[in-house]
Structure 1
Amino acid sequence: MPLGDPYATVAELKVRLPNLDEVATYDDALADVLDSVSREIEQHCGRQFNKDATATTREYGPDEIYRLREGPSVTQWVRVDDFYDTADLVIESDGTAWMSDAYVLRPRNGVVDGMPGWPFCEVYAAGGAAFGSTVSVTAKWGWADVPAPVKQACLIMAAETFQIKDAPFGVAGMDQFGAIRVRENRMAMAKLSRYCRDPIRVR
């Protein structure tokens, strides 16, 4: 799916909603809900999960270049937006293009906790290279495929968002703790938790 597209389709959402399979009356409303929830997921996770089919350039300044001193050596890296393909990858620092042996991409091999399919999001200086004041990266941005938990969270939240119109004051029910609000969905948040992008604190 291109950047900006929702993470699920109206047809997929209808499966979760009673008596809507053959009804087109609410299709526009369902599409709006999916788009809104997808943007909420991006804001919550600090990243987006679709992909750009063509490589474009993004720039990163000195505040996004991190350094970690270990004894006499200093490790430098820049945290960039997610990119899923290295075919058209170009790394430049202060206008000078780097050879492939001057940097290392992480996560290595696109694997996190044994799970493949993750995009690259960090560029480490290697072989004695050092970043200047700016870094530019030309790449195909995004994820090769939307992760299944992200898609499921989108459908969960979209179904509840659509049904909230029938819930007085946004309350979908009661439990031993009191009112359950539709937007406070622990299942969706749990599915998204692994994909939240935390800031690097070491400078």
Structure 2
Amino acid sequence: MNKSQQRGQGGSPGARGTVRSQARRAELIATGRKLFADTSYDALSMDDIAREAGVAKGLIYYYFTNKRGYYLAIIEDAVAQLVERAGNTHDFPPVERVRRTIDGYLRYAQHHQAAYRAIVTGGVGFDAEVLAIRDTVRARLLGTIAQGAWGRGDIPPVARTALTGWLSSVEGVTLDWIEAQEIPRDTVAALLVRGLGDTLRLIEEYEPACPAPPSRPPA
């Protein structure tokens, strides 16, 4: 078999190695997500993590440098999942897109509570890098809301301030909800959608270039 046939059957050794490396890294992140969900950051040692993952400790150092790098990679992965879940609404009309964005956000928080708490509260203590990750996810979610409401990604200052206030309330409501689990997700989503509608109408008063979408699709 010549080299061309080998590439056709399995790709280059380097490509296969990259795929395997990415898969192994993803497995380690999945393991870490479960571990940090049940155990505090300080209580977990690299030996504990390696034992739970069934790998040599050096492999974790190879991919993540140290425990902090490992933890940050887990948070970044959680952020990527949260943004993807919340923003995967491109094929829907604006009002429905906003509703689905909020529902996706709540679904993620419900099923990944430890990761959500870390994203929103800033992780281990006052962690500047985790806070920066949180700011990134906030900016992306605000962009998603702006696209859904106005079909634009750039947000005027008044609109940004008002939406940031709404998103802060979303985080507080969501944290309380996943802690208490006293009301259905649909009810929480309806409350947040109503609050967003009020915010968008207020924004329109101060920024006519950002009109609030109709509360329901036209007949």
Q: Select the structure that is richer in helix.
A: 2
Question: TM > 0.5 between the two?
Answer: no
More strand by share: 1
Instruction: Name which structure has the greater RCO, CA cutoff 8 Å, separation 6+.
Output: 1
Normalised TM-score (structure 1): 0.29
